[in-house]
Amino acid sequence: MPSVFVDTITKSYLIQKFSEYYSRAEVDLPKNMNSREWAFVSVESIPEFVMKRHISFENEVELRGYMVKNPPLHAYHSSAYYEKPDAGTMDEKGWKGADLIFDIDADHLPKGGLSEAKRQIIRLHDLLEGDFGAKDMKIVFSGSRGYHIHVCDKEFTGLDSPERREIVDYLMMNGLVFEEVMNSGFQKLRISKCMVKTLEKIIRNGKAREVLGLRKKSIEKAERIIQGNRDLLISGDFRKLPKSVKNRLHILFEECRKKLMIHIDPPVTADVKRLIRLPGSLHGKTSFKAVPLTRDSIEDFKPLRDAVAFGDEMVRVRVKSRVRFNLNDTEYRLKPGKHELPENAAVFLICRNVALYGW
């Protein structure tokens, strides 16, 4: 929800900083930018959170001119391509297709936070490439708590919502249940392989009794069968295992399914007319840059270092409440009161609504 800055000096400082950013920054333009709808929440509109929608631009010069003049706190473009992107209603816009969008949000993951989100987005990228044959993909750090992938290959832009939901089900393995024979489809084979490896590991570590409730005899028998039929088991055929083990396989199945599923946000992918953050723009709740990444560059990407958009010129701020954070490889522990901080930390705190500009 809207951050509440009441202070006009702070607001003009922010407008100046964001405007400066957009006059120098390279934003990563989506393809066919003139068929997209654009939407902005301007810094000017603070403390209200007013989104201006149904805007269209012919080219980069127009877009940049707009953003320097009305620096946005948040900048979005539509995943969809339209006949008339600036028309006021969906019917008038004339939908022509939409990129396929994926969103992994650190706060929706069961564990692991931002670094797990990064691992997930890498796996997602590789699945989209290997299984779906996607080639024209953009990976983007969201500027806050997650990562996005935009698939722009022409083949996928015509997909409707129900079809996109099938892709969600594939990636999240929704509705997939354990069967003794799971040899159709690579997602099932991935699970089968994980199950065999987990079973081996459990037995090796002497945990089979504890985790699966197996007796010594069953364990020994299972071990022998695994040795002789490893390939068959990995190919998803578990029928040869002793009954006592088979009865417990659903536990391993669930564990592997949870491990292998990709935690995307379903409605984002299913939506054919979503607004998505402009890669290269700033995220108004953090001041971080929504950084466009590649499969190579994401490996070493550190959000709290590489997404920092502002410099280290010292700035005076009044911190409103006690705060601890890590930015640009620096650890900050601040008490309420006057502080002189590098610009990047100052703008970050203002966007987080814990500091005001000036003494």
175 binds another protein (CB under 8 A): yes
Binding track, positions 50-89, relative to another protein; x by CB under 8 A = ---------------------------------------x
- Establish if 108 lies at the interface with another protein (CB under 8 A): no
Interaction between residue 107 and another protein (CB under 8 A): no
Q: Which residues are catalytic?
A: 103, 105, 265
Which range of residues in 113-121, 179-187, 295-303, 335-343 is near another protein by CB under 8 A? 179-187
Given 95, 132, 325, 332, the residue binding another protein (CB under 8 A): 132
Task: Report the helix count and the strand count for the chain, using DSSP H and E.
Answer: 14, 15
Segment contacting another protein (CB under 8 A): 35-43, 66-74, 162-170, 222-230? Answer: 162-170
Query: In the structure encoding, which two tokens stand for residue 152, read together?
Result: 């722009």
Q: Six-digit token pair at 239? A: 């029928």
CB 355 within 8 A of CB 317: yes
Task: Specify whether the CB–CB gap between 344 and 310 falls below 8 A.
Answer: yes
Using the rule CB under 8 A, which residue among 184, 294, 297, 326 binds another protein?
Answer: 184
Number of residues engaging another protein in binding (CB under 8 A): 34
Q: How far apart are CA 25 and CA 179, in angstroms?
A: 53
CB of 110 to another protein, least distance (A): 14
Non-local (6+) Cβ contacts of 12 within 8 A are none
Asked whether 281 and 134 are in contact (CB, 8 A), the reply is no
Q: Count CB atoms within 10 A of the CB of residue 28.
A: 15
Give the C-alpha separation, 177 to 7, whole Å.
56
Closest CA to 187 of 207, 165, 206, 169: 169
Tokens of 155: 């083949």
Among 46, 75, 124, 168, binds another protein (CB under 8 A): 168
**Cβ at position 34, least distance to another protein in Å:** 22
Nearer to another protein, 93 or 138 (CB): 93
Label residue 185 left, alpha or beta by phi (over 0 means left) and psi (-120 to 50 means alpha): left
Query: H or E segment at 269?
Result: helix 266-270
Dist CA 285 CA 72 (whole Å): 12
Residue 229: CB minimum distance to another protein, A: 22
Q: Is 130 in the site for another protein (CB under 8 A)?
A: yes
Using the rule CB under 8 A, which residue among 162, 227, 296, 329 binds another protein?
Answer: 162
Question: Closest approach of Cβ 63 to another protein, in Å?
Answer: 25
Residue 267 contacts another protein per CB under 8 A: yes
Q: Which residues bind another protein (CB under 8 A)?
A: 89-91, 130-134, 155-156, 158-163, 165-170, 173-176, 184-188, 266-267, 270
